[in-house]
C-alpha cells in the first residue's frame, strides 16, 4: 500500500470538469493506482457515494460508486468499479436531489432514468453488465455524466430547483 495521499477533488470552474474523458485501453498498474486514489477519495474524502476519474484530474473513463456508504436504504450492489462504462438501456423517470464534490456550493433536483443497465470493464479488462434502480441508478448516471464533461447543474430544469447550500 505505502503511504497514499488524498488527491484533491477538482471543483468548478476547473476546465477539466468540462472535458471529454478518454477510454481506458491499457489495463495495467497505472490504472490500478488511479482506481485506488478514487476509492481513497470516496472513503476518506468528503463522503461521496461516487467519484469519476476526471474529478481527480485523470481524464479517463473510470467511475467508482458505493451506495452502501452512508444511510441509504435503497437496494445496491455495494462497491462498484466501472471502466469504460456505457448505459445500454434506461427506463422511467424520477426526480431526486443531487449534489457533487466538484460543485460544493449547490444542490438541485434533477430528473434521471429510474432504471439503467450499464456495460463496463473491470481492472483486468473483463466485460460485465448490471442493472441498477433508484438512488444507485441516479448515482451511476451522475458519475457517467462526468466522463462527458456534464455536471448535474446542466440538467436542472428550472432555477427554482437549484438551492445554495448553507455555509
Ligand atoms: Zn459529481
- Report the 3 state secondary structure along the chain: CCCCCCCCCCCCCCHHHHCCCECCCCCCHHHHHHHHHHHHHHHHCCCCCEEEHHHHCCCECEEEEECCCCCCCCCCCCEEEEEEEEEEEEECCEEEEECCCCCCCEEEEEEECCEEEEEEECCCCCEEEEEEEHHHHHHHHHHHHHCCCCCHHHHCCCHHHEEECCC
- Quick: pLDDT tens for 103-125: 988 999 999 999 999 999 999 99
Domain ranges of the chain: 15-89+116-151
Q: Which residues pair with 111 in a beta bridge?
A: 95
CA–centroid distance, residue 39 to ligand 1 (Å): 14
Report the CATH fold assignment for 15-89+116-151: Peptide Deformylase (3.90.45)
- Quick: pLDDT tens for 42-90: 887 665 789 999 999 999 999 999 988 665 556 789 999 999 999 999 9
- Ligand 1 ion: Cβ-proximal residues, 5 Å cutoff: 100
- Quick: pLDDT tens for 6-50: 888 999 999 999 999 999 999 999 999 999 999 988 887 665 789
Residue 6, pLDDT score: 81
Amino acid at each position: 500500500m505505502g503511504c497514499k495521499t488524498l488527491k484533491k477533488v477538482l471543483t468548478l470552474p476547473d476546465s477539466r470538469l468540462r472535458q471529454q474523458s478518454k477510454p481506458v485501453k491499457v489495463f495495467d498498474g497505472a490504472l490500478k493506482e488511479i482506481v485506488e486514489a478514487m476509492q481513497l477519495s470516496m472513503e476518506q474524502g468528503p463522503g461521496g457515494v461516487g467519484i469519476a476519474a476526471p474529478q481527480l484530474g485523470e481524464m479517463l473513463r473510470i467511475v467508482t460508486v458505493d451506495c452502501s456508504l452512508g444511510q441509504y436504504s435503497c437496494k445496491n450492489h455495494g462497491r462498484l468499479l466501472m471502466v469504460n462504462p456505457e448505459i445500454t438501456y434506461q427506463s422511467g423517470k424520477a426526480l431526486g436531489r443531487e449534489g457533487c464534490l466538484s460543485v460544493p456550493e449547490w444542490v438541485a433536483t434533477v430528473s434521471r432514468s429510474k432504471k439503467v443497465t450499464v456495460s463496463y470493464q473491470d481492472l483486468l479488462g473483463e466485460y460485465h453488465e448490471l442493472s441498477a434502480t433508484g438512488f444507485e441508478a441516479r448515482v451511476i448516471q451522475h458519475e457517467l455524466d462526468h466522463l462527458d464533461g456534464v455536471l448535474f447543474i446542466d440538467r436542472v430544469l428550472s432555477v427554482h430547483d437549484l438551492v445554495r447550500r448553507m455555509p
